[in-house]
Structure 1
Amino acid sequence: MSDESPHAALEGWQRVEQSRPRVLFALVSFHPGGAERQTIELIRHLDRMLFEPLIVVLDGTGPLRGAVPEDVRVMELAPIAQDHWLSRWLGRLPGCGRLSRWLAYSRLLVDEKIDVVYQRVYNLTLDLSWPTWWRRIPRVSVCVGDQQAEIERYAKIHPWVSWRFARWAYRTADVIAANSNELKDQVARQLHLPAEEMVVLVNGIDIEQITELSRQVIPLPEIVSASTVGHAETLKILTVGRIDEAKGYLDLAQALIDVARQHPAKPLIWSIVGTGPLQDRLLEMAKEFPENLKLFCWGSLSNPFPSYRWADLFILPSHSEGSPNVLLEAMALGCPVISTNCPCGPQEILEGGELGRLVEPHAPAQLAQAMEEFLHDPAPARALSIRAQEHVATKYSIQMATRRLEAILRKLTEDQHT
């Protein structure tokens, strides 16, 4: 039995409380997205005896806000920017939004005594590069997609200048990470970064949690009647993610049209979880689909996991990825998958096709052929899905991903105080 007095124990706990490094996790919003889900999952599993997590977010709305643990303080950047005359004034000037955010982040880092910053996605890398560099606060910057595409998408000045700034923004990070080996090598080539100094932080899946969530009943739109969804002869196709051209939805639409025409007696349902700029165009196209092919857009769901159990087949038709969470989620829940072999991630996750069907991107005919094979004999794909489920459990658990991040955070904070 310990002879430590309650008063001494309380003092010891207070010392632990005071000495825990404060980790600031930056988010764009709480709307469902791979980066948002992954960051919140890491926060949920972060060891509170070692670290105190805080969140700063640009847009505090979205269904994922309810998933943030109660002990984590959430701060929106806009009120911080409005609280100082210079950042408030800059925010009103055209083209000066980033300068305003730089000043707001810089104040936040000091006021909250932040020890280390963790951020994902390209825009947050640019936003937090100068404040962390100026305040000399360590930063973990995680690449989750094609950086050249991001530069071209968001460049507001000459692309060469944007490239130079992006390169500087990553080089000022204390740890540059990517969520797949393939993406790490791609980013190193694109931004002329030293690949040997980068690390891989794979996405983690909380298998126990998503399995439990997948058993919940979600209300489907009335247009999807219970009899149609439950029809044994209906092939139910699922895609999850932002609805834009880069995700390959037009390729999949053409492939499904071809399959529907080849099998006019086979009912096909294509359901999409997500929203995006291509949604209206797809719904307009769906008016001309063959009679046996129906498209339903379910929108953004705070709990998308029952949809994986609903589906017979999950398809990722993307032209480019980083390390797609949705592919891991489908595998973890035992749903057979077809994915494009796009850069980056699917080949690595699916072990070169050993755990699911890989086809070339921008190739509707190959997507159609893969679906034809599944229609003819689904048994091989279902056998692969069992192996895929085991693979995710051993290599992509959220517990392993969090312990890896904790080791990095611990080293950064120790180095900072030596």
Structure 2
Amino acid sequence: MGNSQGRVAVLLHIVGFGKGGIESALMQWLRIFDRSRFDVTLSVMFSSPAFEQHFRARVPADVKVEVLADRAWLTRLEARRYAGRLGKFGRVCRDVFNTAAVHPYVRKRLATLARQHDVLIDFDMSLRRWVRSFDIASVAVSHFSFNARFGHRPRKVRRLSHQLRDYDRVIALNQQMADEAPILFGNELPRPFLLPNAIDVDAIRARANEPAAPRSPVAAPYIVSVARLDELQKDHRTLLHAYARLLQDKPIVEHLVLVGDGAFRQELEACAASLGIAERTHFVGHVDNPHALIAGASLFILSSRNEGQPMGLLEALAHGKPVVSTDCPTGPRDILDHGRAGILLPVGDIQTMADAMGRILSNAQLREEMSAKALARAQHYGIEASKERLALCVGNVLKARHHPKAALALEAVST
């Protein structure tokens, strides 16, 4: 059992850091624990260039960081993977080596850490095969639609259903995600606890004013999309076609700025050229701090086929941006309050997307009204509201185990 000078000792785990929304969400989670009641440790299986160069400096100073694979001989193959120097045979070798050497070493270290903490939050469900052996109150966080990821894989669903029973509770980031769980897994699991990602509205707005924050590559007004260039999920093709249709239908001045990188970049650039919009479409690549780009946009657009709880959409609300988003599973519908804080439209519908963008861009009063609604909705995901939801979740998990620190966690929740 943890010993943190009377506070609840929380061990929050992730396998590693890339440059996606999950990592950005984790940074916010680390901030919303009430430090008078919670003592937080972050454990990471592997370090990475993204963690060392971007995220480590953003970890709050009072959060202890444990990199579990902390020997050079354990990380050599993983380092080659991060450098893009691991071929097909190398990937096979890495998988075998991780199973034979890295995982036993990391599992032993995690078992030691578990004995020093009161609750484990598995932020990416990477510990689902091990968590039973740690004998600690445990919570799994799902960041994606259960149905989109596993609905077409019945054997995976059965295996995952058994693994999720080893956790005390599963967290879903939005209501749609929570509603999917009993449909996919039946009543074998407790209904997921609803715990949206958090945003620090003031900090987000302040980051837009940082001197080093990248600005727009174009002097003209612009529409912005912030998403990985992954057509299996993000569907930028529909956005490009909708933007081309918009230019045909209305005399708008806005350019299109795409923030993000990925394997589909060349294909999407070629698509923009074939549509005749290349000169007005700007691919700026991955940006560590996209907030100035969001803050300066006329509107924010999300074109995804499926989501978890997109951080870009939450950050757009914090900046008071008019938002157009596909009503994809899962996330946008809850974030935009069923269309009251932004425009929702069908997935893959080019004309409807073009019409929605055109309606906003041609109506200044509508933009002002949508901006006010966005700012109001952002408060639902703010630090104070999120702090109480997180304390309630941890407190209830400990209470179900009759843990002596359950009452301390629940004291953080308003009555």
TM range (shorter): 0.7 to 0.9
**Which amino acid is 1:403 matched to?**
E
Aligned equivalents of 1:83, 1:375: Cα separation in 2: 53
Offset of residue 214 of structure 1: 1.7
Are the equivalent residues in 1 in contact too, given 2:321–2:374 (CA < 8 A)?
no
CA distance in 2, matches of 1:82, 1:173: 32
* TM-aligned CA deviation for residue 174 of structure 1: 0.6
**Bigger CA drift: 332-341 or 406-415?**
406-415
State the secondary structure of the residue aligned to 1:129. Answer: coil
Indicate if the aligned counterparts of 1:217 and 1:306 stay in contact, CA closer than 8 A.
Answer: no
Q: Which residue of 1 aligns with 2:133?
A: 134
Structure 1 distance, partners of 2:389, 2:277, is 50
Alignment check: 8 A CA contact 1:132 1:138 kept: no
Matching residue of 1:106: 107
Out of 382, 393, 401, the position equivalent to 1:397 is: 382
91-100 or 174-183, which deviates more = 91-100
Alignment of 1:13-412 (within 5 A): 17-57=4-44, 58-62=46-50, 63-79=54-70, 92=93, 94=95, 97=98, 102-112=103-113, 113-120=116-123, 124-125=124-125, 127-151=126-150, 159-193=153-187, 197-218=191-212, 220=214, 224=217, 228-229=218-219, 231=220, 234=221, 236-245=222-231, 246-263=233-250, 266-290=252-276, 293-393=279-379, 395-412=380-397
CA 1:353–1:241: 2 relative to 1, 3 Å: same
Q: Which amino acid aligns with 1:61?
A: P
After the TM superposition, which of the residue ranges 16-25 and 139-148 deviates more from structure 2? 16-25
Q: 1:177/1:386 Cα in 2 relative to 1: closer, same or farther (>3 Å)?
A: same
Larger Rg: 1
Q: So what's the TM-score if we normalise by structure 1?
A: 0.81
* Kept in 1: contact 2:181–2:192 (CA 8 A): no
8 Å contact from structure 2 (residues 169, 190) kept in 1: no
Distance in 2, matches of 1:152 and 1:145, equals 12
CA separation of 1:59/1:187 partners in 2, compared to 1, >3 Å: closer, same or farther?
A: farther
Q: Which secondary structure does the structure 1 equivalent of 2:129 belong to?
A: helix
Task: Name the aligned partner's letter for residue 402 of structure 1.
Answer: K
Q: Partner amino acid for 1:377?
A: N
Task: Using the TM superposition, give the Cα deviation of residue 407 of structure 1 relative to its aligned residue in structure 2, in angstroms.
Answer: 2.9
Question: How far is the alpha carbon of 1:238 from its aligned partner?
Answer: 0.6
Distance 1:81 1:168, change over 3 A: farther
Q: 1:96 to 1:83 in 2, by over 3 A?
A: closer
- What is the identity percentage for the equivalent residue pairs of Structure 1 and Structure 2? 25
Task: Give the TM-score taking structure 2 as reference length.
Answer: 0.82
Deviation at 1:409, TM superposition (A): 2.2
Q: Distance in 2 between matches of 1:300 and 1:130?
A: 33
For residues 105 and 132 of structure 1, the distance between their equivalents in structure 2, rounded to whole angstroms, comes to 13
Deviation at 1:276, TM superposition (A): 1.7
Question: Which residue type is aligned with residue 66 of structure 2?
Answer: M
Q: Is the 8 A contact 2:196 2:386 kept in 1?
A: yes
8 Å CA contact retained: 2:122, 2:140: yes
* Contact 2:147 2:180 (8 Å CA) reproduced: no
For 2:391, give the aligned amino acid.
E
Give the count of matched residue pairs. Answer: 379
Change (3 A) 1:298 1:119: farther
Q: Is this contact kept in 2: 1:273–1:299, CA < 8 A? A: yes
Q: How far apart in 1 are the matches of 2:147 and 2:96?
A: 22
1:7-33 alpha-carbon deviations (Å, 9 max, x no partner): xxxxxxxx9844433322122433332
Return the offset for 1:383: 0.6
Distance 1:189 1:45 in 2: 31
Cα shift readout 1:88-119 (whole Å, capped 9, x = no counterpart): xxx95756746766534431233222332112
Q: What amino acid maps onto 1:138 in structure 2?
A: A
Which stretch has the larger CA shift, 400-409 or 131-140? 400-409
Partner secondary structure for residue 128 of structure 2: helix
Q: 1:196 to 1:30 in 2, by over 3 A?
A: closer
**Deviation of 1:365 (Å):** 1.3
Q: Distance in 2 between matches of 1:194 and 1:208?
A: 41
Q: Compute the RMSD of aligned alpha carbons.
A: 2.9
Q: Is the 8 A contact 1:324 1:345 kept in 2?
A: yes
**In structure 2, what is the Cα distance between the partners aligned to 1:208 and 1:279?**
32
The 1:376/1:357 distance shift into structure 2, 3 A limit, reads: same
In 1, the alpha carbon distance for the partners of 2:393 and 2:352 equals: 41
| 2:62 alignment partner AA | D
Distance in 2 (CA, whole Å) between partners of 1:151 and 1:59 is 28
